[in-house]
Each structure stands twice: as structure tokens, then as C-alpha cells.
Amino acid sequence: MDRRTFLGQLASMTVGGAVVSACGGTNTTEATDGAPTAITTKKIRWRLASSFPRSLDTIFGAAEYMADRVRAMTGGSFDIRVYPGGELVPGLQVLDAVQNETVQIGQSCSYYYTGKNPALAFDTCVPFGMTARQQQAWLGEGGGGELMAKVFSDFGIRSFPSGNTGAQMGGWFKEELGGLDGLNGLKMRIPGLGGDVMSALGASVQVIAGGEIYPALERGAIDATEWVGPYDDEKLGFYKVAKNYYYPGWWEPGPSMSIYIGEKAWASLPVTYQEILKSAIHEAGLEMQRRYDARNPAALKRMLEQGVTLRPFSEDLLAAAWDASNQILEDYAAKDPGYAEIYTHWKASRADQFKFFATAELAYANFAYPRG
Ligand code: CA
């Protein structure tokens, strides 16, 4: 059968209720829910607004990777153009841009939008929350995703977890901290709930955009800053002006990045493209994590060769931070029943995860990591 005859036969044909485009559609396959659907070559072009700059080639790079995979799997028919923060919309307005249909798809962190709903923090991470694997398990299989979907439905958005930095570092301090007392009056750049906790512990918290942190640290306008981890931190050069590199970043033990898709945009996709996009989002999330895990060790080694000293936060600081963090979450839960429902579920899941990870994973790490 030649192509024209075949397409002619397809013209009046739909499969499983899915739209078969006029310019293609040659086969049936199965969506992951088992429903039959049609392969299509429908031309679709979307724009993705990211919150992140191109220089974060781990995070922003994962959005480009996702778009590349979608193009490859659709023979170029589904084309997602990826734009860095500030190019289409300001970096912290990506959720708004997807909600109001300025763009069909966005890449962001939900904890940027806690002003709209404090419970959005659980989609990313909260201080002393779960690690990357634990957060992925809670969102993907542990019931957290369903709870977050209810929050996102208020915005007309579908949110997909897509990548994680892994446990972040505590950041760069010009002077050695000592213990908890060292935070008194310390001027530190740290946004979000981590900043609220540091403030409760006596620090003078500053919120400064990425590009302005280095000069502020260099001239002493701030005494300390956190960012991400070795690979990203090295690029901003903090090690040149602050030699004490503290850990862990207990406020971000496993922040999960999100891909947002507007409900209308999602519904407009052929089912085949929805399935391809879901797979590409998932794959890009794995790509982000493996880039971090592959690049962080080498970056840390390079910076240690430049005279950087690794320092753990003291026990008294960590204990006070744990108490202050829990108090902040409890206070939100007391004010907001919707928040309380998610917090209660999340807290029970965290307890279960911590108990399990405290066995084989922890015993292995404690013994083997220092010896490797
Ligand atoms: Ca951080």
C-alpha cells in the first residue's frame, strides 16, 4: 500500500478516541494505563519557561535534555523550545506563566511559590526533609504526589517530579563558625524556610539573587552564603573569598525539581505525546541526578586543592536547627488544615523512610565511605 492510499484510509479513522492527525498516524500502541492509542505525527510546538539560568547546566540542562528526547521520540514533530529564567518570564514567575497559559510548560521548584500556598514546599523539600530517593518515593509512590496534585489543581497545573540536586552543602563561611553561638548576627545569604530557621537561630538572613552573591561575599556585605553543591558552587567562585565549606545543607537534603504543564495544554496533546513526554520528564530527572553525582566529587577535589577546608556543622547547631525547623512546620499546620493534611502524611512517611534508611544504607555509608 502506498503512503497516500494508507493516509486516505486513516482519514476517517480514530483509535481509542485519540485524535489521529491528518498528516500521519500509522499504528496502534498502548498507553501505560493499557488504553489503546494511536501513534501520531501531529506537529506541536511548545515553549518551556525555566526558572534557572543556562549556566546551571545540570538543572537547566535537564530541561533541554527532556526537550531533545521528546523531539527524538516524535521524529521532530513535538518541538519544545526551552528558555532560561528571565527570557520569557522572570525566573520566579514560572508557575504563574503556566497557570495563565503564557507558556504550556515550565521548569521550576515549587518552594519558590509558598507565598501562594505554603504547602507547595513539600513538592520540593523542607528543612530536615527527605533525601532525593526518599522524596521521589513519597511523591511517586507513597501518596505524596496525589496530595500535591490536589494543591496544583487549584492552579490548573499538572506537576511532574523531574530531577534532584541530592543533599546540598551548607555553604561558604568566611570565618570558622565554632558552634551555634557563631550564628549570632552572622550575615548569611539563605532563602526560603532554611532562612527562616537560620533567622530563628540568630543569623541575619539576606536574600540575594545568584549573580550578586559573589561580590557581596567578597566585599563583606555578607559573611556566608549557601548555593547548591560543589559543581555549581565552584562556577560562582565562592571558594576564592570564603575558605570554610560547611555541610550538610540540612535545609535542602533532597530538593526535587518540577516540570509544570497546564491542564489545557496537557489535554490538547495526542495520548502518544503525553506518554512520550512523561517518559522524557522521568528520564531527564535521572539525567539531572547523575550529572550531579558524576560532577560533584571532581569539583570538590579541585576546590580542596585550592585551600578550602571542609567543616561539619556542630551538633548543637544541628540540634537547635532540627527543633526550630519542626516548630515552623507545626506552626503552619496549626493555621491551615490543607497544610496539616499534607504535613501529617509527609511526617509519617519521613519517619518510616528514616527508620529504614537508618539500617543498611546508613551502616554501609558509615563504615565504607571514610575508608574508600
Ligand atoms: Ca541551596
Determine the distance separating the centroid of ligand 1 and the alpha carbon of 16, expressed in angstroms: 46
Determine the distance separating the centroid of ligand 1 and the alpha carbon of 228, expressed in angstroms: 4
C-alpha to C-alpha distance for 30 and 271, rounded to whole angstroms: 10
What is this structure's pTM?
A: 0.89
Query: What are residue 77's DSSP bridge partners?
Result: none
Cell 499504528 sits on residue: 27
Determine the distance separating the centroid of ligand 1 and the alpha carbon of 171, expressed in angstroms: 8
What local confidence, expressed as pLDDT, does residue 135 receive? 98
What local confidence, expressed as pLDDT, does residue 16 receive? 37
Determine the distance separating the centroid of ligand 1 and the alpha carbon of 234, expressed in angstroms: 14
User: How many CA atoms lie less than 13 Å away from 224 in the CB half-sphere?
Assistant: 27
Determine the distance separating the centroid of ligand 1 and the alpha carbon of 39, expressed in angstroms: 41
What local confidence, expressed as pLDDT, does residue 9 receive? 43
C-alpha to C-alpha distance for 366 and 142, rounded to whole angstroms: 27
pLDDT tens digits in sequence order for the chain, 372 residues long: 444 444 444 433 333 334 334 344 445 555 556 665 667 899 999 999 999 999 899 999 999 999 999 999 999 999 999 999 999 999 999 999 999 999 999 999 999 999 999 999 999 999 999 999 999 999 999 999 999 999 999 999 999 999 999 999 999 999 999 899 999 999 999 999 999 999 999 999 998 878 899 999 999 999 999 999 999 999 999 999 999 999 999 999 999 999 999 999 999 999 999 999 999 999 999 999 999 999 999 999 999 999 999 999 999 999 999 999 999 999 999 999 999 999 999 999 999 999 999 999 999 999 999 999
What local confidence, expressed as pLDDT, does residue 38 receive? 67
Determine the distance separating the centroid of ligand 1 and the alpha carbon of 251, expressed in angstroms: 8
Determine the distance separating the centroid of ligand 1 and the alpha carbon of 12, expressed in angstroms: 54
Determine the distance separating the centroid of ligand 1 and the alpha carbon of 58, expressed in angstroms: 14
What local confidence, expressed as pLDDT, does residue 19 receive? 39
What local confidence, expressed as pLDDT, does residue 21 receive? 41
Rounded (5°) CA angle 104-165-48: 15
Is 171-253+297-332 assigned to CATH 3.40.50.11310?
A: no
Determine the distance separating the centroid of ligand 1 and the alpha carbon of 167, expressed in angstroms: 9
CATH code for the structural domain at 40-167+254-293: 3.40.190.170
What's phi and psi for 52, nearest 5 deg? -115, 155
Range(s) within the chain of domains with CATH label 3.40.190.10: 171-253+297-332
For the chain, the residue count is 372
CB neighbourhood size of 187 (10 A): 17
